């Protein structure tokens, strides 16, 4: 058997406005894998300070259960960003999401600030990929994970659309390079990658198609803007029964006494290698983690 890293489901990552106490309370009961308590785009300038206090109070009772809890702060070039980071460092959450990161040294600067603020080493750092410069510097940003707490990328496709002066289309043609570049860099450096939001809340078919595309591209899950989108994301980013059946067959075949120590075997008329075993074990580990989260 190959070694499998601990897997954490991130199929559905729901943005929750930090200024909306009712929404933050409701998120404690929703089947989202992760909640992102948002102090940036979802909060008006004159409500930023109160929202920061509200988010700190919301996470204080540790009532989000097994859900991953992240706080999206304001950019460090704003008047709120550093205070947001200091709060997140002390809040006991799983991670902090930082917008408008464009270079590797931005990651290192945030990491240093979090350390100075007394953040636990377990606090993850997620960065938004939402500018042309971030896409061009994606390798350097990912490489910064070697000496920082960088955990993953969150795609900011709405901001990318504005910055690119692109026309959004259902196939996301204008963003395919950026999306793939982020996934490639994430995988090269062992990071997670979360796809951007889908804006048309009532268009379930459109959301499903975009989730399918995101999974094909290699994303771990999708950021969401409404609870009604959770079920679709959870379903599409979960392994299917047919996939799991094939994966178990591969694992069982390699476990047979006659196949011990072999690097290549034949299964149902097809050549199967150790890389297929690793893929199969990872898929089963993902399914196990999802089931554990739901229990």
pLDDT at 3: 44
**Which three-class secondary structure state does DSSP give residue 246?**
helix
Q: Specify whether 166 is located in the same domain as 258.
A: no
Query: Residue 197 domain-assigned?
Result: yes
236, 253, 268 - which closes a domain: 236
* Residues 212 and 88 reside in one and the same domain: yes
- The torsion of the CA quartet 26, 29, 34, 37, rounded to 10 degrees, works out to 20
Instruction: Specify if 2 maps to a domain.
Output: no
pLDDT of residue 2: 45
Asked if 184 and 273 sit in the same domain, the reply is no
Which pLDDT score, from 0 to 100, does residue 294 have? 79
Q: Does residue 6 have a pLDDT over 70?
A: no
Flag whether 5 is in a domain: no
Interatomic CA distance for residues 69 and 280, integer angstroms: 29
- Residue 118 CA to residue 105 CA, distance in Å, equals 20
Last residue of a domain, one of 212, 236, 260: 236
Q: Is residue 6 part of a domain?
A: no
In a domain, 4, yes or no: no
Q: Which of 158, 191, 194 is nearest to 174 (CA)?
A: 158
- Does residue 251 sit in the same domain as residue 218? no
| Torsion, CA 199, CA 291, CA 186, CA 12, rounded to 10 | 10
* Shared domain check, 35 and 18: yes
The reply to whether 212 falls in a domain is yes
pLDDT digits (tens, 9 = 90+) for 186-204: 999 999 999 999 999 999 9
Cα separations in angstroms, 248 against 272, 280, 284, 286, 295? 13, 7, 7, 13, 22
**What are the pLDDT digits (tens) for 246-289?**
999 999 999 999 988 889 988 888 899 999 998 899 889 888 88
Q: Check: CB of residue 70 under 8 Å from CB of residue 36.
A: yes
Q: pLDDT, tens digit, for every residue of 91-144?
A: 999 999 999 999 999 999 999 999 999 999 999 999 999 999 999 999 999 999
Same domain, 290 and 231: no
Q: pLDDT class for 232, splitting at 50, 70, 90?
A: very high
Question: How confident is the model at residue 113, as a pLDDT?
Answer: 96
Position 293 scores a pLDDT of: 81
- The sign of the CA dihedral 168, 171, 176, 179 is positive
- Residue-level pLDDT at 9: 93
What pLDDT is attached to residue 7? Answer: 79
Q: Are residues 156 and 173 in the same domain?
A: yes
Query: In this structure, are 229 and 255 located in the same domain?
Result: no
Q: Are 229 and 182 part of one and the same domain?
A: yes
Helical axes 104-116 vs 81-90, angle rounded to 10°:
60
Answer whether residue 161 is part of any domain. yes
- From 217, 236, 255, give the residue that closes a domain: 236
SS3 at position 14: strand
**Residues 181 and 267 occupy one common structural domain:** no
pLDDT digits (tens, 9 = 90+) for 68-77: 999 999 999 9
Please state, in angstroms and rounded to a whole number, the distance separating the CA atoms of residues 257 and 250: 14
Q: Are 194 and 8 in contact (CB under 8 A)?
A: no
Residues 228 and 252 in one domain: no
Residue 116: Cβ within 10 Å count: 11
pLDDT band (50, 70, 90) for residue 207 = very high
Say if residues 201 and 175 touch (Cβ distance below 8 Å): no
The answer, yes or no, to whether residue 32 has pLDDT greater than 50, is yes
Burial class (CB in 10 A: 0-12, 13-18, 19+), 295: exposed
Query: Could you tell me the pTM of the whole model?
Result: 0.92
Q: Are 184 and 219 in contact (CB under 8 A)?
A: no
Which residues, in sequence order, are CB contacts of 21 under 8 Å at separation 6+?
A: 54, 58
Specify the number of domains making up the chain: 2
Task: Report the CATH number that the domain containing residue 187 is assigned in CATH.
Answer: 3.20.20.60
In the predicted model, what is the mean pLDDT of residues 173-186?
Answer: 98
Residue 256 lies in a domain: yes
Look up the domain containing 250 and give its range: 241-294
Has residue 56 got a pLDDT over 90?
Answer: yes
Position 5 pLDDT exceeds 60: no
In this predicted structure, what is the pLDDT of residue 292?
Answer: 84
Contact indicator for 144, 188 with CB cutoff of 8 Å: no
246/197 same-domain check: no
Quote the CA–CA distance of 126 and 150 in Å, as a whole number: 6
């Amino acid at each position: 058997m190959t070694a499998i890293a601990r897997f954490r489901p991130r199929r559905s990552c729901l943005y929750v406005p930090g200024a909306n106490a009712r929404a933050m309370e409701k998120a404690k009961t929703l089947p989202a894998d992760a909640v992102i308590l948002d102090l940036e785009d979802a909060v008006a300038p004159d409500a930023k300070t109160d929202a920061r206090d509200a988010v700190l109070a919301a996470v204080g009772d540790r009532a989000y259960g097994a859900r991953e809890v992240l706080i999206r702060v304001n950019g460090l070039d704003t008047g709120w960003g550093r205070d947001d980071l200091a709060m997140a460092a002390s809040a006991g959450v799983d991670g902090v999401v930082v917008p408008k990161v464009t270079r590797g040294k931005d990651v290192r600067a945030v990491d240093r600030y979090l350390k100075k603020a007394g953040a636990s080493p377990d606090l993850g750092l997620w960065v938004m990929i939402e500018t042309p410069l971030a896409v061009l510097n994606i390798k350097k940003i990912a490489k910064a994970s070697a000496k920082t707490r960088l955990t993953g990328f969150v795609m900011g496709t709405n901001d990318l659309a504005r910055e690119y002066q692109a026309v959004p289309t259902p196939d996301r043609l204008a963003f395919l390079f950026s999306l793939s570049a982020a996934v490639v860099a994430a995988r090269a450096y062992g990071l997670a990658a979360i796809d951007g939001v889908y804006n048309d809340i009532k268009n379930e078919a459109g959301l499903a198609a975009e989730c399918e595309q995101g999974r094909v591209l290699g994303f771990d899950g999708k950021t969401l803007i409404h609870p009604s989108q959770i079920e679709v994301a959870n379903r599409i980013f979960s392994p299917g029964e047919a996939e799991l059946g094939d994966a178990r067959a591969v694992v069982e075949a390699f476990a047979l006494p006659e196949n011990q120590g072999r690097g290549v075997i034949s299964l149902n008329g097809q050549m199967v290698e150790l890389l297929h075993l690793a893929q199969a074990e990872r898929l089963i580990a993902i399914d196990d983690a999802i089931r554990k989260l739901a229990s």
